[in-house]
Amino acid sequence: MSSWLSFLASRGARLTATGVADFGDARSELAAAVDHAILADLSHNALIEVTGDDATAFLHAQLTNDVQALPEGAAQWSGWCSAKGRLLATFLVVRRAGGYFLMLPAEIAPAIARRLGMFVLRSKVKIADASPSWARMGFAGKTAGVIVARHWGHTPDPMRAVEKDGALCVALDAERFVILAPAEDAPPLWEALALNATPAGADAWEWSMIHAGIPVIVAATQEAFVPQMANLELVGGVSFKKGCYPGQEIVARTQYRGGLKRRMALVHLEGEARPVAGQSVFSTRFGGQAAGTVVGVAPAPGGGFDALVVAQIESLADGDLRWNAVDGAPLALRALPYAPGLPEPPAGRP
């Protein structure tokens, strides 16, 4: 166990193999994510550091977004695709002095780092796992921005970072922040921020990100979606003006020639059974053929579960989605904070 996780355990964290499950009261943590602020451990996410004279050009040629246009102290969502235009990973990319941080799920990070390394060739690029050296925290909720301003001096604009005493605070939007702190400095920073926020585990953070409509690719969903299926371009994760990258031709064709048949949506499921990423969703229109795939899931504050699913646009228009089987539990559509571009329901259908 790392010294960071040992510290969190001493503060009441209930640990799992990947990080912190909760701090003893998961329901209260979810409630705080809605009404106040949570401070969550993000050890279930890894941090890859990319440095070197050619780091910018290298990442620009690999990722779906315009890395060359990203200034120091800024961040962006981005994806990495296979040659077939299917997402292998999604990242939060943070540019800092001397290089870049890529944050992604820890379960796929080693394989992604190795695969990226295969494309370095003679470029002056170093790819390293920075996770042991940097603690990752998530700060979210209605009062999170005020607390950030108190500690860092101001609340950064969305997708901008502010630094104090070596710790970076990256604003994802007005209510969600990722904090990256040197491991040795993380415990006192956690203590300071926790004075005005509820310590929380992974689920409370993931619920907040699900409601932001941010797609996160995990092992079970690798190569399942082109970026537009997962709404990656709607959250600023795809540039259609940059040069080539793996799968770029297919991504561009999908954008400009149409034919996109699936989109990501926010849904709610009642009950105690928890879906998992990669499971199928169904609809009457498609019978026994799966109509979509679960992207991410978290317990909902009022009970049941909220999830992101990529599903057939026709099924979303029908409002008829079921989990795991045609006659499975219904999935109720909820609004995303951005327009997903879905069609109106067909005539004669609700």
Question: For the segment 41-53, what is each residue's pLDDT rounded down to a tens digit?
Answer: 999 999 999 999 9
Domains, in order of start, for the chain: 1-212 (3.30.1360.120), 219-332 (2.40.30.160)
The residue-averaged pLDDT of 278-305 equals: 96
pTM: 0.95
Nearest to 79 by CA among 279, 215, 180, 276: 215
**Residue found under tokens 């279930």:** 44
Residue 92 has pLDDT above 60, yes or no: yes
Residue 116 has pLDDT above 50, yes or no: yes
CA–CA separation, 223 and 112 (whole Å): 13
The region of weakest confidence among 52-61, 83-92, 190-199, 256-265 is: 256-265
Question: For the segment 226-243, what is each residue's pLDDT rounded down to a tens digit?
Answer: 999 999 999 999 999 998
Token representation of residue 228: 């537009």
> Going along 3-122, which residue ranges are E strands?
14-15, 20-22, 38-41, 45-51, 75-81, 87-96, 99-105
- The proportion of the chain whose per-residue pLDDT surpasses 70, expressed as a percent, equals 96
How would you classify the pairing of strands 45-51 and 126-129?
antiparallel
The region of weakest confidence among 12-21, 25-34, 276-285, 336-345 is: 336-345
Answer for the pair 174, 142: CB distance below 8 angstroms, yes or no: no
pLDDT category, 184, cuts 50, 70, 90?
very high
Residue 89 has pLDDT above 60, yes or no: yes
pLDDT of residue 302: 94
Within 13 Å, how many C-alpha atoms sit on residue 290's CB side? Answer: 14
- 3 state SS for 146-159: HHHHHHHCCCCCCC
Question: Cβ contacts of residue 72 below 8 Å, gap of 6+?
Answer: 95, 96, 97
Token representation of residue 169: 């605070």
Answer for the pair 88, 223: CB distance below 8 angstroms, yes or no: yes
Using only the alpha carbons of the chain, give its radius of gyration: 20
Answer for the pair 303, 270: CB distance below 8 angstroms, yes or no: yes
pLDDT of residue 1: 60
Please state, as a whole number, how many other Cβ atoms lie within 10 Å of the Cβ of residue 284.
13
CA–CA separation, 319 and 304 (whole Å): 19
CB-count burial class (<10 Å; 0-12, 13-18, 19+) for 73? middle
Residue 348 has pLDDT above 90, yes or no: no
